[in-house]
Structure 1
Amino acid sequence: MKFLMIIILPVILVSPLRAQTKETESVHQLWAGYFNQLRFTDKWGAWVDIHARTREDYFTGLSQGIVRVGLTHYLADDLKLTAGYAFVNHFPSDNHKNISMPEHRAWQQVQWHSRYPAIRLMQWFRLEERWRRNILNDDKLGDGYNFNYRVRYNFFSQFPLSKKRFQPGTASFVVNNEIHLNFGKRIINNYFDQNRFFAGFNYHLNSHDNLQFGYMNIFQQLASGNNYKSTHVARLFYFHNMDLRRKQPH
């Protein structure tokens, strides 16, 4: 019950926002992502993830492309700190119809795992510093950047669907919720940014690779404060974990 409340609570908190919305746009997208966590030594590793996200109605062009890298320090096998950089390309949209808008992000994160016989949990807190290029008009970027901070809390849980729990060739049921909050001088109306709720399946290809697929709903408050977007996402992620440490002889 404790685990379920942690997952459900952010959704409950978002519900009043949904109830008072006057203008909510609904769109459908496809998200594909590749994640790699590479461990060099007992203390150090690297993080890479790459994303492609479509626009409305699943296949009408791209909305975003993201490349994120980071350096990871392991405090323990299940507790790690990561800091890095991400480049985000916002493909042509309503207020920049003919050009892409670049965004630069610095990010810092603490991540921890909890493992039990019948459930696996992962949580992280992530802080982002976001520099988004100003837009002059439909065809031209402006000078300078719009800066703000964003903090993200992610709670991920998976439940085995067979007696061979979390073993290669088995599947797990996944429930995941992540809430995003904005702050900074430029943030006036939308301190709440978005909530991402995901439910799907995780297929364990082998001891270090996983294929995750399912449905995600993103409920987002736009910068105006009284406009919202509900995005229905078909999500496909591939997780690749590599350990380069020399194995100790038995």
Structure 2
Amino acid sequence: MMLRGTIGVTLFFVFVVTAVFGQEGTATHPDQSVFNEPETLTWINSYGTFRLSDKWFWHAELHYRMRENESRNFIGDVAQVYNRHGIQYIPTKNFKFTAGGVLRIDFGDQSGDAYEKIRLEPRIWHEYQLMMPFDRFRVYHRIRIEHRWKKKFKKGSDYVFGNRWRYKFMMKIPLNKPKLQPGTIYFNPDVELIMQSGKAIVDNPLEDLRLYPGIGYIASPRTSYSANMMYSFGQSGEYGGFYRQRWVFKFNIYINLDLRAFDDKIPETRFYD
């Protein structure tokens, strides 16, 4: 019931935001929606959380992303290198706030003197995450807002400012133990809706809807792993009637370290479980 309710709220949110953002202007529409052939990618991600004091943390992410090419699916060429950092504040065991910066490096797949081989995409981001503990599992709600400067690969293109509005619903359900603890294998249903807005967004506010169930393993209080197969679709290009599709294999490692002096250490927060 909880999952069905969340999906219903998400679809309602898609409808409302699409209706609101879609009033910014008009563009040429195809006669019917066009879904591109799914693209295959592989994302290898590391997430580090380092405790600085009782309630303050440093959060660091490094993502290495590959895409298909003509000869190989999933691992053909380098697509992006993604570097995200932020300062994190955890006032209670069930809530955290993070803010910081992102530098994404995109590698182009077009040849010729008219196109750049790489482009940089800087962002400012902040997020708010609520954790709901239950007897055997945990539920997470995350809102992330990103302010980004993006440009095309064509030489001479200018940066265009825009915003991304992201909502994620996630669960961790232990499979081989009664609760989430070291040695636990857990099921990880995960849904994320990503909307976008800005002057360049006319009738394509739905950037991505990501569905990525996965399996995780808690190796220790400091390290855990997970793997997901993600399917996503969203509006692409300049027209709202065109949709891209992707299949993405994700492998993730999570590292939590306490950088304080030994005498200052206290039990970890519930977000680490």
CA RMSD after TM alignment: 2.4
Amino acid at match of 1:43: K
How far apart are 1:94 and its partner, in Å? 4.0
Conserved in 2, the CA contact under 8 Å of 1:156 and 1:176?
A: yes
Return the structure number with greater strand share: 1
1 CA distance for matches of 2:229 and 2:11? 15
Query: Does 2:37 match 1:21?
Result: no
Partner residue of 1:221? 235
Q: Where do 5+ consecutive residues of structure 2 fail to align? A: 19-31, 268-273
2 CA distance for matches of 1:188 and 1:92? 24
1 CA distance for matches of 2:125 and 2:151? 18
2 CA distance for matches of 1:54 and 1:199? 20
Q: 1:199 aligns with which of 213, 225, 240?
A: 213
Aligned positions of 1:110-129 closer than 5 A: 110-129=128-147
How far apart are 1:234 and its partner, in Å? 1.1
Amino acid at match of 1:27: E
Partner residue of 1:238? 253
Conserved in 2, the CA contact under 8 Å of 1:10 and 1:195?
A: no
How far apart are 1:248 and its partner, in Å? 5.6
2 CA distance for matches of 1:64 and 1:74? 30
Structure 1 residue ranges, 4+ long, deviating more than 6 angstroms after superposition:
11-15
How far apart are 1:210 and its partner, in Å? 1.2
Q: 1:151 aligns with which of 156, 160, 165?
A: 165
Query: Does 2:185 match 1:171?
Result: yes
Partner residue of 2:90? 74
Conserved in 2, the CA contact under 8 Å of 1:134 and 1:146?
A: no
**For residues 143 and 216 of structure 1, do their structure 2 counterparts lie closer, same or farther at Cα, with a shift above 3 Å needed?**
closer
1 CA distance for matches of 2:213 and 2:85? 26
Conserved in 1, the CA contact under 8 Å of 2:97 and 2:128?
A: yes
Conserved in 1, the CA contact under 8 Å of 2:137 and 2:179?
A: no
1 CA distance for matches of 2:150 and 2:100? 17
Q: 2:151 aligns with which of 133, 149, 152?
A: 133
Conserved in 1, the CA contact under 8 Å of 2:234 and 2:243?
A: yes
Amino acid at match of 2:42: L
Q: Where do 5+ consecutive residues of structure 1 fail to align? A: none
What TM-score do the two structures reach when normalised by structure 2? 0.81
Q: How many residues align?
A: 242
- 3-state DSSP class of the match of 1:206? coil
Query: Does 2:72 match 1:54?
Result: no
How far apart are 1:97 and its partner, in Å? 5.5
1 CA distance for matches of 2:266 and 2:59? 24
Query: Does 2:92 match 1:92?
Result: no
